[in-house]
Amino acid sequence: MTLVLWAHAKVNPGLRVCGRLPGGYHELDILFHSICLADRVEITVRPGEGLVLEVDGPFARQVPQDRAPEDNLACQAAVAFARWAAQQLAEGQAHSRGKAVAGPQWAGPSRAPAAGQVEAGARALRAVLGGAVTLRLTKNIPAQAGLGGGSADAAAVLRGLALLWQKKEGLAVPGSALAAMAQSLGADVAFCLQGGAARGRGRGDVLEQLPTAPAWWVVLARPPVGLGTADVYKAWDSLPRPNETGEEAGPLSCGAAGPRTNPRFAGAGGALPGPTDSDLGRIVDAWRRGDLAAFSSSVFNDLQEPALRLCPQIGAVRAALLAAGAPFALVAGSGTTVWTACSGQDEALDIARRLQSWSGAGGAAPVPAGTWVALSRLCEQGVVVAAGEQTGAEAGEGVHEQQVPESAPVPAPVASSEE
């Protein structure tokens, strides 16, 4: 039994870091939007017992093959679902015998499960689905790129296992249960499960659904290097604090709007403000009106400055995008991808062609050799179940948008798409 899903990437038109939370997390106020770039996630249930991860596709080498399954977020999602479903079976059996269920209620893992938990999860998967589970990821989304590829895969695994469970047991998995599993795995997983457009608070996992933006075309450019999310947040923690007048030593540069004062520190002593509704509200209002100019002048990302400090190549990509005519050039999530939006395909293609022609050296703004350049569009869904294997209409748009449509000669990735 095999199920195929498309796991869509995301961008963040607005990302405000509001401060620190207990446990090492950061308080965020963040906007998410799905894009059509997608990984293919195939879930197969076969006779036997085990949880197997297979990875292929353009960015397969960015997913270390020598790591244990518990280090992969998709496997963690499978374990989380298996534990939940096994508990439901146990409760059902106990209730059918008129007994109360002993033990604490499952709340999901807060960290990566240990190897023993993966093995236990595999046994639970056999119990709830009737066999061993193989997860096959076709990686079209680059890793450590700020596009949420790993989180999208995990969300697709949750959705897929829920559908397989429903087919076997005849019972739908409550949306609240899936949301709780996703939240336990990470803020981006919670959004990718929901998809479309949303505002996230807290760790970014307390979501408010928003109307989606127009299907603007998106140009994506990623230098041949990745950044770990934890490293970027650590760099944010070490940014200069404001002086006694409240002026910040290193103002952020956001999009094409030029330097702006980062309001995450307000007043003397660097007191942290609450969520900034006006900044995020301007972005949402602009996309609701379909006003790309207003949208472009409003987008921002507080993680852009620390990402630039850690990876100067990002700055070269940003400069090249703006020189190529992009209305803005913003780091995606914690980086290293830089993105912009265009109202039409022709404009997006022109910008991408210029980036490709400037690869390595020369041109108005040289692009680092090996930079990956691709087109996509803003879209309305996070996880899409393929119609059939991989040829259905829903699947086709999701996976092929990450490349240029066949009618367009360029751009393809500038150089190698693998690190």
Which pLDDT score, from 0 to 100, does residue 283 have? Answer: 96
pLDDT at 48: 87
pLDDT of 278 > 90? The answer is: no
Q: Which two tokens stand for residue 44?
A: 């197969």
What is the per-residue pLDDT for 380?
93
Q: Which residue has the higher pLDDT, 125 or 222?
A: 222
Task: Give yes or no for a contact between 11 and 33, defined as CB atoms under 8 angstroms apart.
Answer: yes
pLDDT band at 395 (very low <50, low <70, confident <90, very high): very low
pTM of the model: 0.82
Dump the DSSP string for 12-78. Answer: EEEEEEEEE-GGG-EEEEEEEEEEEEEEEEEEEEESS--EEEEEESTTGGGS-TTS-GGGSHHHHHH
State both tokens at 401.
């948008």
What pLDDT score does 387 carry?
56
pLDDT tens, 7-58? Answer: 999 999 999 998 888 777 889 999 999 999 999 999 999 998 889 899 999 9
Q: Is 10 a catalytic residue?
A: yes
Residue 281 makes CB contacts below 8 A (sequence gap 6+) with: none
391 versus 82: which is more confidently predicted? 82
Q: What is the pLDDT of residue 198?
A: 96
For tokens 């119609």, the residue is: 387
Per-residue pLDDT band for 269 (boundaries 50, 70, 90) equals: very low
Residues 360, 65, 189, 166: is their CA dihedral positive or negative?
positive
Identify the pLDDT of residue 199: 96
* Per-residue pLDDT tens over the stretch 163-179: 999 988 888 899 999 99
More confident of the two residues 24 and 282: 282
More confident residue, 274 or 321: 321
CB-based contacts of 176: which residues, under 8 Å, 6+ apart?
none
pLDDT at 156 over 60: yes
Q: What is the pLDDT of residue 63?
A: 79
Q: Hey, what CATH topology would domain 217-400 get?
A: Alpha-Beta Plaits (3.30.70)
Q: Which amino acid is at 283?
A: I
Query: Has residue 61 got a pLDDT over 80?
Result: yes
> Cα(266)–Cα(23) distance, rounded to whole angstroms?
24
Report pLDDT digits (tens) over 100-143. Answer: 333 333 334 444 455 566 777 788 888 888 899 999 999 999 99
Residue 252 dihedral angles phi and psi, to the nearest 5°: -70, 150
Q: CATH 3.30.230.10: does it fit domain 2-210?
A: yes
Specify the pLDDT at position 144: 92
- Mean pLDDT across the chain: 79
Write down the residue that tokens 């990984």 correspond to.
Answer: 39
Q: What is the pLDDT of residue 363?
A: 65
Cis peptide before 47 (omega within 30 of 0): no
Q: Which is catalytic among the residues 39, 188, 279, 302?
A: 188
Task: Provide the pLDDT confidence category of residue 67 given band limits of 50, 70 and 90.
Answer: low
Q: What is the CA radius of gyration of the chain?
A: 22
Tokens encoding 175: 């949306």
Domain boundaries, the chain: 2-210, 217-400
What is the structure's pLDDT at 240? 79
